[in-house]
Each structure stands twice: as C-alpha cells, then as structure tokens.
Amino acid sequence: MAARKGQKLHIIEHGGWKRLRYRIDVPGQHERVYKSDRICPISGPGALEGAELMNTAMKMLIESGCNTPLPLERAEAVSNGDTFRDHARKWLDEVKPDFKPATMESSNYYLDKFLLPEFGDLFLGDVRFRSFKDMVDRMKAQGKPSPKTVHCIVQLGLQIISSVVNDNGEIRFPRLWKTSQLRLPPIRNQHQPELSPEAMQHLVSNSQGQCRVLFALLGGSGLRIGEALALRVEHLSDNCSTVTVSQSVRKGVFQTPKTEAGNRQIDLHSSLAAMLKEFIGERTDGLLFHTASGKPLSTTNIARRHLHPPLTEIGAPRAGLHSFRRFRVTHLDTVDVPRMLTDYWIGHSSRSVTDRYSKIKNRVSYRKEFAEKAGLGFTLEPLGANVAPKPLFICTQEIAEAA
C-alpha cells in the first residue's frame, strides 16, 4: 500500500443530514472505502452553519484517524501477519532453538491461556499500556493466576511486541512505560518447601535401591534433579570425588544446561564419593541412574513413590525434588562456605562484576578442601545389597523392531 495523502473536508447533504464524507483503509483490501458520518440535521434543532459546522466536521475528521498512518498500518498488519497472534507464533518459532523445552512449554501455555484471548486479533501497535493494565487488573481481581505467573505473562507479552523491528533494526512499537506502572501483584511467600536436617537424614537412611543414592547425591551436591538423572558414569572422576555437569534431562529428552554457569564441576565429600564408588561397582559407562531398560528415571515416579511417602511418615511437609537443592545451599551457608564457591557448585550465574573476576573454579585443591570441611549435614551408612541398577535388558518390543 502506498502512502496516503491527507484528506480535506468534504461535506455533503443526504437524507436530511449534513454528512462528513471521507475514505479510510480497512484490513484485507488495497483500496480505501468511503465512509459517511452524520454531522448535524440540515435544518431545525441542532443544525450547524459556517465556522461552527466546519470546526465540528474537522474534529470528526481528525478523530476518524483517516489522515494518520494508523489505519493504513492496521490494514497492512492484517495483510502482512502483524497482528499480535501472527507475530507471537512467528517469534516463538524463531526463538525455539534458544529456549529450553520447559521455557517453551510455559511460554506456549501463557500465550494460549492468557495473551491470545486478550490481544490475539489486535494490531501490534494497538496493544498498549491500557491493554496490559486492564489484563493485570482482571487477574488481580480474580486472584489467579499466581503473582509470579502474572509477572511472567506480562514479560512475555512485552518481549513479543518489542521483538518487532524495522529495516534499520529499530523497535517499531517501543513501550517506554515502566512495568511498575502496571501495579503488578507483589510476589510474596512463594511456596518453597525445604528439607530439615532430620527429614534429610530420614530419607537417606530409609530409602531403598537407587533412590537412596540419588537422594544422598542430591542433598550432598545441590544438583538439579534433571542434572542428576542425566549423569553418566563417565561424568565422575576415578575416585568419584568430582562430578562434571554438562547436560540435563527432562521428560526423557537430554539437553544442555540452561546457562553457561550450569556447566561446572561439583566437589563431593569423601563419604559421598565412597558411596558412589560402591554404587557404580564395575560399571565404566552408561547412565548413573536408570530404569531396567537403560532409560532415565521419571521425576514424577521418584517424587510420588519414593519421596512423599517417607516425608508423610515423619509428619514433614510435602516437598518436591528441588528441596534437596535448597537443603544443600542452606547447609553451605550455615558452615560459612564462601558464597562465590556455593554459586559455582550450585550453578548460579555471577551476581556482580566482582564475581566475574573470580576464577575459583580453577582452584581445585581449594574447592576440595572446603567440600571436605563443609560436610553433608547428614550421615551415610553402608549401602548393602540390591542397591545398584538392575542389569540392562532389551525389551520384547525392541527385539521385534530389530528383527
């Protein structure tokens, strides 16, 4: 569509009314359409003449927006796929290689459940402060979703809009207002259950099979559950005192760590290293923890079958697998491990410019010294029999497919 020239006043009389006639762009077609809006009766009460008529007509012409780029942009937006819905899908496809599956899953959920019903058919330029403010106000009035989710929804919506750039790489629809002006609900009292030392000790003393070693490793290293289930025997040093983290697994799909800080080494206490050494036995490769068919363990099954029942037995609050990570960080804080070393073991990014100068990861002897001093916060007992994973086997279906 070519640029439109400004329109002058064109007043006609028709059907007993003085009317303002103008043309305006509409979605889906190149040619503009004619519109005719009533100004006033030709005669009688309410009739206008002279300057009063011209001023009223001019105000109506300005309010119609026919002489501004917006109607043209809206029409082009529908033709070019620049509605919020079209661009959101396009943007998600573009960023998919950079997003982890969990992030992609939540983004699609926020989009389908909240953003598209609100803004889906709007021209991107029409999604403005008031649009977001009304959405946030409705969510706050309903009391759902959670405050943290509301923040994530708004952030995703703004990311989608700000990703639209012109040929010069400039943002086409800048949103200069601050998100604080939206009066987002404050994030307070997030549900972050933790394991007490007593609960941790109960788990590692009374759990059976692989889960006993898994729980000890989670509580003694601060590994994320996906990182622990993706560990291979080859990722442990010869004496099992160092774990190298280079991947994680989610719903059976292996992936690289979410951030560069996730690629790290974790130094283990000697008692935990000895347990892992005994657990591995003669194995030289393969997943450290696995099912009988060699697949990664299910986090849902671990939590439901092996974590929640023992916690219920001792009256401890129900917690998820991430609670082992909180236990480890809390323990390291209580024994005064330097925060930069804790961040390195846990896999958190630098908190300040000063942290970026630290090369603590290269001080291996220093790390191991603190790992031994820090201890575990719980005690380990001999493993006994029937703890290592069962021997791998080929299931009947795989044999049939191979044949």
At residue 71, does pLDDT exceed 50?
yes
Helices 147-162 and 84-95: angle between axes, nearest 10 degrees: 90
Specify whether the backbone of 317 is left (phi greater than 0), alpha (psi in -120 to 50) or beta.
beta
State the amino acid at position 364 in one-letter form: V
Measured in whole angstroms, the distance separating CA 130 from the mean position of its chain's CA atoms is: 24
Helices 209-221 and 197-206: angle between axes, nearest 10 degrees: 150
Please report which confidence band the pLDDT of residue 2 belongs to, taking 50, 70 and 90 as the band edges: very low
Stretch 149-161: mean pLDDT, rounded?
92
Looking at residue 402, its pLDDT comes to 35
Provide CB contacts within 8 A for 246, sequence distance 6+. Answer: 235, 256, 257, 263
Query: Comparing 219 with 24, which gets the higher pLDDT?
Result: 219
Write the DSSP assignment of 273-329 as a string of letters. HHHHHHHHTT--SSBSS--TTSPPPPHHHIIIIIIHHHHHHTTPPP--TTHHHHHHH
What percentage of residues in the chain have a pLDDT greater than 90?
46
Structure tokens at 295: 């697949």
Separation of alpha carbons 380 and 303, rounded Å: 21
Separation of alpha carbons 239 and 356, rounded Å: 30
SS3 label, residue 263: coil
Please report which confidence band the pLDDT of residue 255 belongs to, taking 50, 70 and 90 as the band edges: confident
Separation of alpha carbons 300 and 319, rounded Å: 13
Stretch 344-350: mean pLDDT, rounded?
85
Whether 148 and 187 have beta carbons less than 8 Å apart is answered as yes
Stretch 389-396: mean pLDDT, rounded?
42
**Highest-confidence segment of 28-32, 52-56, 159-163, 327-331:** 327-331
Whether 342 and 243 have beta carbons less than 8 Å apart is answered as no
At residue 232, does pLDDT exceed 90?
yes
Tell me, which fold does domain 81-176 have in CATH?
DNA polymerase; domain 1 (1.10.150)
Task: Give the Cβ contact number of residue 85 at 10 Å.
Answer: 17
Whether 32 and 23 have beta carbons less than 8 Å apart is answered as yes
Stretch 317-327: mean pLDDT, rounded?
92
At residue 73, does pLDDT exceed 50?
yes
At residue 269, does pLDDT exceed 90?
yes
Helices and strands (H, E) in the chain, number of each type: 18, 7
Structure tokens at 167: 């040929």
Query: Comparing 71 with 336, which gets the higher pLDDT?
Result: 336
Please report which confidence band the pLDDT of residue 399 belongs to, taking 50, 70 and 90 as the band edges: very low
Stretch 72-83: mean pLDDT, rounded?
57
Stretch 73-94: mean pLDDT, rounded?
73
Looking at residue 152, its pLDDT comes to 93
Looking at residue 177, its pLDDT comes to 79
At residue 392, does pLDDT exceed 60?
no
**CATH homologous superfamily of 197-397:** Intergrase catalytic core (1.10.443.10)
Provide CB contacts within 8 A for 298, sequence distance 6+. Answer: none
Looking at residue 367, its pLDDT comes to 92
- Domain residue spans of the chain: 11-78, 81-176, 197-397
Measured in whole angstroms, the distance separating CA 13 from the mean position of its chain's CA atoms is: 59
Looking at residue 400, its pLDDT comes to 35
- Per the prediction, the chain carries an average pLDDT of 84
Please report which confidence band the pLDDT of residue 97 belongs to, taking 50, 70 and 90 as the band edges: confident
Please report which confidence band the pLDDT of residue 68 belongs to, taking 50, 70 and 90 as the band edges: low
Please report which confidence band the pLDDT of residue 396 belongs to, taking 50, 70 and 90 as the band edges: very low
